[in-house]
Each structure stands twice: as C-alpha cells, then as structure tokens.
C-alpha cells in the first residue's frame, strides 16, 4: 500500500514539476496586468477547465494506455504518426532555448555570492552614461537606465542592432549553459525513477521560496499599490479576442500539452492507474501557481514603482525574462541582505526550469530508445545533451 501511495504522490509531483515552469513566474502575472487584471482570470479559468484539462487528460490517457512515447503512441492510429513526430520536434527545439534561460539563472545565481552584486554597479565596461546605480538608496530611475537593466541587456544578452552584428559567443554564458546540460544529463540518465525522486525537490522547493518572497515583499512600501494594479478588473477586456488568445497561449504553454512529456511520463504508469484525480490536482496546482506568483511579482513591482520610479507602476511592469532578470534584481538590490535573497530567488528559477527541462529532454531520449532499443540510455542522454548544447551555442552570441 505504501509503495503504491508513494508512487501516486511521486507521479503527481513529477507532473507538477513538469508543468509549473518559468512561464508561471514571469509570463502569467504580466499577461494578467496587460489584459485587464482580475478580468483576465475569467477566460483563463474557462480555458483551463474546458480546453486545458481535457487535453491534459487526453495525453495522460494516451501514454498510459499505449505505454509508449509520442511517436509510437500516435503511430498506432493510422495517419496520426505526424502528431507524435511534431511533439518530438517541438520538444527538441524547446529544450535548446529553454536551457539557455536556465543558464542565465545559473549565471545570476553564481554571481549572487559576490559581496557586491554586479547588477548594482555603473562602473563596468558594459554600462552607459545613462546608468543609474541601484546601490544608491536615494535615487529614482526616470530618465536613466537602471544598472540591473544594463547588466542584463549589455552583459548577459549583449544586445545588438541586428543579425549583421552577430558577434562571438559569450564564454561565461557558454560555461553556464554547459553546466546546465551536465545537470540535466546527470539527473535523467537513470530514467523516470531518479527524476521522480527529484520531483520532491523540483515541485515543492519553489513554493517555499515563493511564499518567503511573498511575505517579504508584502511588507515593503508600495506592495499594496502593485497588488491593486494586478487584481483591479477592466471588464471591457473580456470581450477582446486578444485577451482570450493570450489566455489560451498561457494555458497551453504552462500545462505543457503538445510537448510530448505528458505522454512520455504516463507511459511508465501501471495500466490500471486511476489518474483522473491526479490530473485535476496537477491542473489546479498549475493554474493557482501562476496566480500565487502574481501576488509576489506585483508586490515587488509596486515597491519598485514607489522606490525608484516616482510611483508610476507602468514604468516598472515589464514581461518576459526581463521580469526575472531586471525587475527582481532591482527589487532585491533595495533590500537588506540582498545577496541572500538573490541566491534563493535564482536557485528557485533554476529548480523550476530544470523540472520542465527534464520532461522535454526525456521525450527526445525516450523516442530514440524506442526506435533503437539496443542503445544504452546513458549513451543516448549524452548524445542528446551534447547536440542540444552545440545547437544552443549561437544563442549566446550578440
């Protein structure tokens, strides 16, 4: 009984780890702000219930019934193998750039152990004349550019004017990218058994950090301002097609449907496993995690608006990776014990990212093993990791 109970809990945590990714932390909160605040939750919940949940359940059903990965599972239906191959291609492309995001978090994590954080300074070669030093507590960022913004734009991204200025790879990003792929390879080389054990960390630890950050940021000046902006509904947005499209995109991206990892993970289940309740739990956790992260994010943005941007929250609210690598470093730099908060925040990003990365990489590895069963798993893992790493190197250029 206890073994089966542990397996059921492990499978749920594995799915949560796979579905709750970086998009929950930086994509959903900004989409909510952009698309009418609390009003955005209406299409978000409806699409989760009537589209996200059925598709999630369908992919779990297919994997558990066939005990095969996406290409072989869909190949059992005449004319449908293309769906499985598309999932495989989608996963292969995604793992190449997704690990780059993890490598950025790893770079910030390692630099967080410095006594003086690099994104707090304006005296480096990547800074411009408009740089505003965040280590100075008596400043506002209105006409200038924050040192955290310049660090991410000019040092990490090394942003250029176009493809004509492609440049050379950044050695520090390549080393972090290599480190990220080594971690992935070590964690998945033994299959679902090891990944399932790691899910207890990759699924639960981020919630502890998010809760700690929420408690800390909610005590800051301006936190209430940010949360009001986050939740205040603009009901006119509900009838806007763009809002529904953004909600659908977030649901698909966040749940991970269409990437093949759900089919691959459920293929290892017992044929008679009752996964309906597990499916509901995972989908509910994924949905609520984005909302929970939104409170933390906008409490932080409200604090920054009051502290650095003269109370103008529209200048502090940005989406995408910039939310994690510009806004949060700006906020952390204004806190006491900023290095400690930076270490735990970027560690959380790494763990969240790895949970999703394991699933995508496993899809590719499992597909190769099903077509070439004589190969050793660890050999395939090394080959896939090396190939994906080499493909990702151009992403480290300007």
Residue 268 binned pLDDT confidence (cut-offs 50, 70, 90): confident
Has residue 143 got a pLDDT over 80? no
- Quick one: pLDDT at residue 317? 64
Has residue 389 got a pLDDT over 80? yes
373 burial via Cβ count (<10 Å: 0-12, 13-18, 19+): exposed
- Quick one: pLDDT at residue 3? 44
Task: Give the tokens for residue 190.
Answer: 């033994």
Has residue 165 got a pLDDT over 80? no
Q: Where do runs of H (alpha helix) occur along the chain? A: 2-19, 22-26, 28-34, 41-47, 53-66, 70-75, 81-111, 147-150, 171-188, 192-218, 223-231, 241-255, 261-266, 276-308, 321-322, 328-333, 338-371, 377-392
Mean pLDDT on 68-83: 87
- Quick one: pLDDT at residue 1? 33
- Quick one: pLDDT at residue 2? 34
Distance CA 384, CA 104 (A): 21
Portion of the chain with pLDDT greater than 70, in percent: 92
Has residue 319 got a pLDDT over 80? no
Tens of pLDDT along 172-184? 999 999 999 999 9
| Cα separation of the two ends of the chain | 55
Residue 251 binned pLDDT confidence (cut-offs 50, 70, 90): very high
Fold of 2-396: Hydantoin permease (1.10.4160)
Q: Which long-range contacts (CB under 8 A, 24 or more apart) does 44-52 make?
A: 44/247, 44/250, 44/251, 44/287, 45/287, 47/244, 47/247, 47/248, 47/251, 48/251, 48/283, 48/287, 51/248, 51/251, 52/251, 52/252, 52/255, 52/257, 52/283, 52/287
Of 385, 394, 396, the C-alpha closest to 360 is 385
Tens of pLDDT along 301-312? 888 888 766 666
Has residue 321 got a pLDDT over 60? yes
Q: What is the mean pLDDT of the chain?
A: 86
Tens of pLDDT along 218-245? 888 888 888 888 888 888 888 899 999 9
If you write DSSP's letter for every residue of 246-282 in order, what string do you get? Answer: HHHHHHHHHHTTTSSHHHHHHTTS-TT---HHHHHHH
Has residue 111 got a pLDDT over 90? yes
Which residue(s) pair with 132 in the sheet? 146
Global confidence as pTM: 0.91
């Amino acid at each position: 009984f206890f073994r089966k109970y542990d397996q059921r809990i492990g499978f749920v945590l594995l799915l949560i780890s796979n579905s709750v990714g970086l998009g929950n932390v930086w994509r959903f909160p900004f989409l909510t702000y952009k698309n009418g605040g609390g009003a955005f939750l209406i299409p978000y919940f409806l699409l989760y219930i009537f589209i996200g949940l059925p598709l999630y359940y369908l992919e779990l059903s297919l994997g558990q019934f066939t005990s095969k990965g996406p290409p072989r599972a869909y190949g059992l239906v005449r004319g449908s193998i293309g769906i499985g191959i598309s999932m495989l291609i989608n996963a292969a492309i995604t793992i190449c750039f997704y690990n780059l995001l993890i490598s950025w978090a790893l770079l910030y994590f390692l630099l967080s152990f410095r006594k003086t954080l690099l994104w707090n300074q304006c005296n480096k070669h990547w800074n411009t004349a408009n740089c505003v030093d965040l280590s100075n507590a008596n400043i506002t960022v209105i006409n200038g550019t924050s040192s955290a913004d310049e660090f991410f734009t000019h040092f990490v991204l090394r942003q250029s004017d176009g493809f004509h200025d492609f440049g050379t790879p950044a050695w520090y990003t390549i080393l972090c990218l290599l480190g990220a792929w080594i971690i992935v390879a070590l964690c998945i080389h033994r299959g679902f058994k090891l990944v399932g054990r790691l899910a207890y960390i990759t699924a639960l630890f981020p919630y502890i950090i998010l809760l700690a950050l929420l408690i800390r940021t909610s005590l800051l000046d301006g936190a209430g301002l940010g949360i009001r902006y986050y939740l205040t509904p603009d009901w006119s947005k509900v009838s806007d097609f763009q809002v529904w499209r953004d909600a659908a995109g977030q649901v698909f991206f966040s749940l991970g449907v269409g990437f093949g990892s759900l089919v691959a993970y459920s293929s290892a289940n017992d044929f008679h496993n009752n996964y309906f309740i597990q499916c509901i739990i995972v989908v509910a956790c994924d949905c609520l995690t984005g909302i929970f992260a939104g409170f933390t994010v906008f409490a932080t943005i409200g604090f920054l608006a009051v502290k650095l941007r003269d109370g103008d929250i529209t200048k502090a609210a940005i989406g995408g990776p910039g939310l994690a690598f510009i806004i949060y470093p700006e906020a952390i730099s204004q806190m006491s014990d900023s290095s400690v908060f930076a270490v735990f925040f970027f560690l959380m990003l790494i763990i969240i990212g790895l949970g999703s990365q394991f699933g995508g990489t496993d899809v590719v590895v499992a597909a190769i093993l099903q077509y070439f069963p004589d190969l050793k798993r660890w050999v395939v893992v090394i080959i896939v990791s090396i190939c994906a790493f080499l493909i990702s190197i151009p992403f480290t250029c300007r």
